[in-house]
Amino acid sequence: GGSSNLASVLKWVNQYFNYPLTSSELKKIIGQISSDAPAFLENKVAIAKGKGEKVEFLPLENFKNQPITLLIPKGVISPTAEIYKKVRAFHYSSKEEIQKIKKLIKFPSLTFEEFLKYIKNPLGEIFLQQFTIIKKTLEILEKMRYKKFFVSGSGSTLWSYGSLKCLEELDFLKK
């Protein structure tokens, strides 16, 4: 989404110019532009609250270097403001759901695949309601190979865990 793009670009600019800003200075500047963008500087899995400015990072060291596949729908622009307007109280995770996730991640035997069963993105759900063709495409891909696709943020990118074999499957669908 836009927040992760902002954080990535400004992190790169800071690196390119040999780090003129400290990490905390960079976070402060980015936070003035977007409330949830500073969290993306950390490159970690997190639980966000409020407008994304209240972030708790999760200790998921055993999930590093997991292969993922990204899909960026051509010609689809996510109407982020419209999607946020449709968020209602029932979209949010309950405190009980969050506590369950926090307990689960403490188990060293928890696999990446098991963890993904608990990921929730209400913005993505709303996005897929608006873009039914993308929802149908994802359903086909999930049946073909992937267990689940996820919407990043409010819909600019779709992702799944696994190799780029997905691209071969997409080429097959085009024929």
The arrangement of strands across the sheet holding 68-71 comes to 68-71, 157-161, 150-152
Task: Walk along the chain (175 residues) and give the pLDDT tens digit of each residue.
Answer: 678 888 889 999 999 999 999 999 999 999 899 888 888 888 777 777 776 677 777 776 666 777 777 778 888 888 888 888 888 888 888 888 888 877 877 776 777 777 777 777 888 889 999 888 888 888 887 777 666 788 887 777 888 776 655 556 555 555 5
The answer to pTM > 0.85 is no
Strand partners, 68: 161
CB crowding 12-32: b at 16 or more within 10 Å, else e: eebeeeeeebeeeebbeebee
Strands 150-152 and 46-49: unpaired
Strand partners, 152: 157
Both tokens of 4, joined, read: 């992760």
Which contacts of 5-12 are long-range, i.e. CB under 8 A and separated by 24 or more positions?
A: 6/30, 6/33, 6/34, 6/37, 6/40, 7/37, 7/38, 7/39, 7/40, 7/41, 8/40, 11/41
Contact 133, 173 (CB under 8 A): no
Contact 1, 156 (CB under 8 A): yes
Contact 162, 69 (CB under 8 A): yes
Contact 34, 40 (CB under 8 A): no
- Length of the chain (residues): 175
